[in-house]
């Protein structure tokens, strides 16, 4: 049987998006149940009073924010494209580990016009979804916007 610290290590990798369920025989439910049982707080727990305050705080704090779900293939495409750019302040927030995921997605819907993920923000402004982000990264438009909005 694996040691408890090793299981914490594996679940941390899973929630950070480094380890995907397809890489392991363990399911998402196993990791979630494990963290729920052996941790006082789940990773990426909201510390603000409302989902609105939490989302707005993250968007203000970081240059690039991606609201994502760890098992979403569109999110993975967008995150991979952005990681290749070695951006100064890229923050990825995995909503599937957040107990208020539905409320957060409802607020993202009000803010951006859709509940779907990923939702990408650059310098406090909504940028786009996976299709726009990946396309613009490949064409160079994303970096133009990133640099221009930094002025």
- List per-residue pLDDT tens for the chain, 151 residues long: 456 566 666 666 666 666 555 555 555 556 555 555 554 434 445 554 799 999 999 999 999 999 999 999 999 999 999 999 999 899 999 999 999 999 999 999 999 999 999 999 999 999 999 999 999 999 999 999 999 866 5
Task: Return d(Cα 11, Cα 96) in angstroms, integer.
Answer: 13
pLDDT value for 86: 94
Q: 0.75 exceeded by the pTM?
A: no
Domain boundaries, the chain: 4-38, 51-148
Q: Which CATH code for domain 51-148?
A: 3.40.30.10
Q: What is the pLDDT of residue 13?
A: 64
HEC profile of the chain: CCCHHHHHHHHHHHHCCCCCHHHCCCCHHHHHHHHHHHCCCCCCCCCCCCHHHHHHHHHHHCCEEEEECCCCHHHHHHHHHHHCCCCCCEEEEEHHHCCCHHHHHHHHHHHHCCCCCCEEEECCEEEECHHHHHHHHHHCHHHHHHHHCCC
């Amino acid at each position: 049987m694996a040691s408890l610290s090793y299981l914490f290590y594996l679940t941390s990798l899973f929630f950070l998006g480094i380890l995907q369920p397809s890489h392991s025989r363990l399911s998402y439910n196993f990791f979630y149940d494990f963290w729920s049982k052996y941790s006082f707080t789940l990773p990426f727990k909201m510390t603000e009073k409302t989902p609105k305050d939490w989302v707005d705080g993250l968007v203000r704090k970081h240059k690039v924010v991606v609201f994502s779900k760890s098992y979403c293939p569109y999110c993975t495409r967008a995150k991979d494209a952005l990681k290749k750019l070695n951006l100064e302040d890229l923050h990825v927030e995995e909503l599937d580990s957040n107990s208020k995921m539905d409320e957060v997605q409802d607020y993202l819907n009000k803010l951006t016009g859709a509940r779907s993920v990923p939702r990408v923000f650059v310098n406090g402004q909504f940028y786009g979804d996976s299709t726009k982000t990946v396309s613009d990264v490949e064409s160079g438009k994303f970096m133009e916007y990133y640099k221009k909005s930094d002025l």
